[in-house]
Amino acid sequence: MLSLLGLLLSACVVPPVDQLLANASSNNSSAAVEEEAQIPPPDTFGGLVRSISEYVSPTPVPTAEPSTTVVVNTNGARANIRSGPGLDFPIVAKGYPGDAYEVVGRSEDEAWWQICCVTNTEGATTTSDETWVAASVVRLAGDGEDIAVTQQLLSPELTSSWQVDWQCGSDRCEVKQCSATVDATVEDGGSQQMLTINHEVVWDDTCFATDSWIFEVNQFTGRERTGQYEENFLYGYWLGGNPGEANGVYTFPDGQAVAVFCSGPHTVEIEEGGGWTTLYEGNTCHDVRTGILVVLSYNKRWLFTGEFEGQSYDRAYFGDNETLRQRLTDTNLELSFVEKR
């Protein structure tokens, strides 16, 4: 998968040691090099995010009681369990008569129950809450009145845009700063549970090449399909609904304010070879309703471990760095909008 990160990784190559040492202190101590090349702290969004205490906090979405279950109630036949609330969604498992499942939500028309912990068609038990069964083939065991309607967080008509501002604090970079727009649109939606969302980055003045990449995102939960990017903040565009408690507020260019869950500092390290490690340190904020990325910022540094001209270095930093800030500027999603007190 190509990405904005991959593009920027190629923007500046890993520097040669002798070039960086020429910019650092003439002191031969690696500790002195680290001290004089002042380490920039992780970016804290430059005032883009305000305190949640200044706004009316969003109301938490009610959840179903764990004791509420449905029991397959068919006359000998197995019940189809699908990936979404409708006959057009693929069958992911079968339920035998008498099988019971925990209820975690329902469709707005009450024709479908969202259930958890089924055995899929490959025989594996999953704790996923992304499966559905028709109300007509089960009986409810427990009180269903308080079960919340499962909202479809994302739409096949989804569009979103982010503004990107990038700077390089290194003499090695031919381009010192550049801005870009990342646009997200759905390429494939329809009746499938997963939306294929294309992201395209276009840089101003063509300072870098146009690039694009794909995420598959669950339209009901808002989560990226694999979940592997939850641990890598550089790719965390789609964390899913309720990613964390609201602790900040971001204001769009049009004045609308949205409650966000901000976290960090996060770190990602990439071993480049030759003794070099690329270190990313940054913070993120996500909308608390959908989990879409709202703000991302990071500082990028190069650290060197090894021998050079008789001197030993251990994760030495010589002063070169890059910074990036990305913020959501437009979307047609229903976010967790808030108003001032």
Q: Give 2's pLDDT tier (boundaries 50, 70, 90).
A: very low
Residue 192 has what pLDDT? 67
Residue 125 has what pLDDT? 52
Residue 145 has what pLDDT? 76
pLDDT higher than 60, residue 98: yes
Max mean pLDDT among 16-25, 220-229, 260-269 falls in 260-269
Write down the pTM of the prediction: 0.79
Residue 122 has what pLDDT? 56
Share of the chain above pLDDT 90, in %: 50
Q: Which CATH fold would you assign to the domain 69-141?
A: SH3 type barrels. (2.30.30)
Mean pLDDT of 90-116: 90
Residue 60 has what pLDDT? 61
Residue 64 and residue 72: Cα distance in Å, rounded? 19
pLDDT tens, position by position, 115-158:
988 876 555 555 466 789 999 999 988 777 778 888 789 989 99
DSSP per-residue codes, 33-50 = HHHHSPPPPPP-GGG-EE
Residue 101 and residue 131: Cα distance in Å, rounded? 10
Residue 282 and residue 259: Cα distance in Å, rounded? 20
Residue 130 and residue 126: Cα distance in Å, rounded? 10
How many Cβ atoms are within 10 Å of 56's Cβ, its own excluded? 11
Residue 182 has what pLDDT? 97
Going from N- to C-terminal start, the domains of the chain cover 4-58+154-338, 69-141
Residue 17 and residue 14: Cα distance in Å, rounded? 9
Q: Give 171's pLDDT tier (boundaries 50, 70, 90).
A: confident
DSSP per-residue codes, 95-153 = E-TT-EEEEEEE-TTSSEEEEE--BBTTS-B---S-EEEEGGGEEEES--TTPPB----
Q: Give 283's pLDDT tier (boundaries 50, 70, 90).
A: very high
Residue 173 has what pLDDT? 83
Mean pLDDT of 32-56: 67
Amino acid at residue number 38? Q
Q: Give 255's pLDDT tier (boundaries 50, 70, 90).
A: very high
